[in-house]
Chains A and B, each alone.
Chain A
Amino acid sequence: MPRWMRGLVGLVGFLALWELVSRTGLVRREFLPPPSEVGARLGELVASDAAFRADVLATLLAWLIAIGLATAIAVPVGLVLGQVEFLRRATQTLVEFLRPIPSVALIPLAVVLLGSGPSSKISLAVYASVWPILFNTVYALGEIEPQRIEAARSFGLKRMAVLRRVALPSAAPFVMTGIRLSAAIALIVVVTTELLTGGQGGGLGQFITIARSGGGAMDVVLAGALTAGIIGYVVNFGLERAQRQWLGWSEEVGR
């Protein structure tokens, strides 16, 4: 059985179980509509609901900006912290304090400071997704094969050149793994913030809130949730492919 088919077995099994639970009345159907209904609803929304498409686009855009910003912040900071031991030690406590704060707990602060528009959800998503990239970058720099650095130095490369031409490519697979982790987190935070602020920002989360407040529209709610899942899956799949394509060497040499 090819790999993609094995992956499909689990998915099909899950959908079948869900269908069964719903259709046999094990769970009330208006609470948990079967996937066939949810799927049909999702198809309808995609095909004919312009507002839904705009919401999906708003979420995607916010997510893209958030992950881009998080990467742009975390990689340079990680490089500096990974290089300068003093700064790493000096910031360690602060980082360990800030990191566990759930970004959802910062929603009120963000709304007060930034309003309920897209900048709030983007800022919160950046906050949450900076950490995995930062940690992976710092960790990767500590794990670089010292002989690689020496080889580069023996050819007269100075510190900055070593950083750019050896440390950065060596760290790239770890950084990429960090970005993949962060991508999932950022999507969750964007949708959650949309859901909880329910403001003018739009987005998938807001779509779900509105559907829920309509009452009895569980198929619409689940169609929204399913969309987030599909986005997350597709993005992770793409990033994984990119990682294998460009950073495949790290699997070959085991680091």
Chain B
Amino acid sequence: MAAGPEVTSDALRKEGAATPMLRVSGLAHRYGDDPGVAAAIEDVSFEIGAGELVCIVGPSGCGKSTLLRAIAGLHEPTSGDVVLHGDRVKGVPDDLAVVFQDYSRSLFPWLSVEKNVAFPLRSRVGRAERRARVAEALADVGLEGQGAKYPWQLSGGMQQRVSIARALAYRPALMLMDEPFASVDAQTRADLEDLVRRVRSEHGMTVLLVTHDIDESVYLSDRVLVLSKSPARVVRTLPVDLPAERDQITTRGSAQFVELRTEVARLLKH
């Protein structure tokens, strides 16, 4: 867990601090077997407590996505461990959902919005429960009444809302988000940032979000992990002691915010 004062800490997170929900230790990954090939990530270690919202920020191409995919169990890291709820991750863990950057490629175009959201629930929960969860998740992301449409009939921002709803309906303990707002316009981006903060506190979810945007990482998170250039290592863990209630205008204008974002920017320069 992060050192230093944490204004936003609550009971849930203190509990999390005692037994981290996610522990990543000595994680390294290189593509291919050739030891001469540069590693994508090298010796990444950190912990995340239950209920935390942590942002990983790093320069483009530093291996952030590789890191996230290893945590999600989508590929086996070359070395190191990912431990979730005390169990070593082998394959994709059960209570974890991923929101990818590219909604157009991660949603299923042959399924309606409703069926996309219900997709991970098939053969897991009953019909009535499924319908209730889908409706709730769509309401959570502000897409009531859009369920019968197809993803490609919606704007980019709305499609990403569908992706988020799909993850929410799954009710994961840990939600991983890989540059989730990199492909939407600025206004949508701000809306979606607030959406993530809201649903996370409503559902008591743990969120790990990867971004290359310094301001976004500070605005969103309880803690920022700053990664180095490739091969990625954790340069610093920075607690974000902004108030829990955040606002796109006042929070981003506060002296504290500016100080934090300057610190992150300075760390990224190294």
**Which residues of A are in contact with B by a Cβ distance under 8 Å?**
145, 147-148, 150-157, 161, 165-166, 169-170, 172, 247, 249-250, 252-253
Whether B105 contacts A145 by the Cβ 8 Å rule is yes
Q: Does B119 contact A (CB under 8 A)?
A: yes
Return B164 CB to nearest CB of chain A, in Å: 13
Question: Which one of B72, B105, B109, B123 lies within 8 Å of A154 (CB-CB)?
Answer: B72
Q: List 14 A-B contacts (CB under 8 A).
A: A148-B106, A148-B108, A150-B69, A150-B74, A150-B98, A154-B96, A154-B97, A156-B93, A157-B120, A161-B123, A165-B122, A169-B110, A250-B109, A252-B152
Whether B120 contacts A147 by the Cβ 8 Å rule is no
Contact residues, B62-115 vs A (CB, 8 A) = 69, 72, 74, 92-94, 96-98, 100, 102, 104-110
Known: A249-B152, A253-B152. A156 touches B104 (CB 8 A): no
C-alpha spacing A152/B94, complex, angstroms: 13
Query: Nearest B residue to A146 by beta-carbon distance?
Result: B105
In the complex, which residues of chain B have a beta carbon less than 8 angstroms from the beta carbon of A166?
A: 108
Known: A249-B152, A252-B150. A153 touches B74 (CB 8 A): yes
C-alpha spacing A170/B111, complex, angstroms: 11
In the complex, which residues of chain B have a beta carbon less than 8 angstroms from the beta carbon of A170?
A: 110
Interface size class of B (residues with CB under 8 A): 20 to 34
Of the listed residues A147, A155, A156, A252, the one surrounded by the most CB atoms of chain B closer than 10 A to its CB is A155
C-alpha spacing A250/B102, complex, angstroms: 17
Whether B106 contacts A151 by the Cβ 8 Å rule is yes
C-alpha spacing A253/B92, complex, angstroms: 28
Q: Does B170 contact A (CB under 8 A)?
A: yes
Return A248 CB to nearest CB of chain B, in Å: 9
Digit string of B236-252 for contact with A (CB within 8 Å is 1, else 0)? 00000000000000000
C-alpha spacing A154/B122, complex, angstroms: 14
> Which 8 A-B residue pairs are closest in the complex by CB-CB distance?
A155-B120, A147-B105, A154-B98, A151-B106, A249-B109, A253-B109, A252-B152, A169-B110
In the complex, which residues of chain A have a beta carbon less than 8 angstroms from the beta carbon of B104?
A: 253
Of the listed residues B72, B100, B106, B152, the one surrounded by the most CB atoms of chain A closer than 10 A to its CB is B106
Whether A154 contacts B92 by the Cβ 8 Å rule is yes
Known: A155-B120, A247-B110. A147 touches B102 (CB 8 A): yes
Question: Which one of A150, A250, A253 lies within 8 Å of B106 (CB-CB)?
Answer: A150
C-alpha spacing A157/B166, complex, angstroms: 14
Digit string of B35-76 for contact with A (CB within 8 Å is 1, else 0)? 000000000000000000000000000000000010010100
Whether B92 contacts A153 by the Cβ 8 Å rule is yes
Return A145 CB to nearest CB of chain B, in Å: 5
C-alpha spacing A165/B105, complex, angstroms: 15
Whether A150 contacts B120 by the Cβ 8 Å rule is no
Return A167 CB to nearest CB of chain B, in Å: 11
Question: Which one of A151, A156, A247 lies within 8 Å of B100 (CB-CB)?
Answer: A151
In the complex, which residues of chain A have a beta carbon less than 8 angstroms from the beta carbon of B105?
A: 145, 147-148
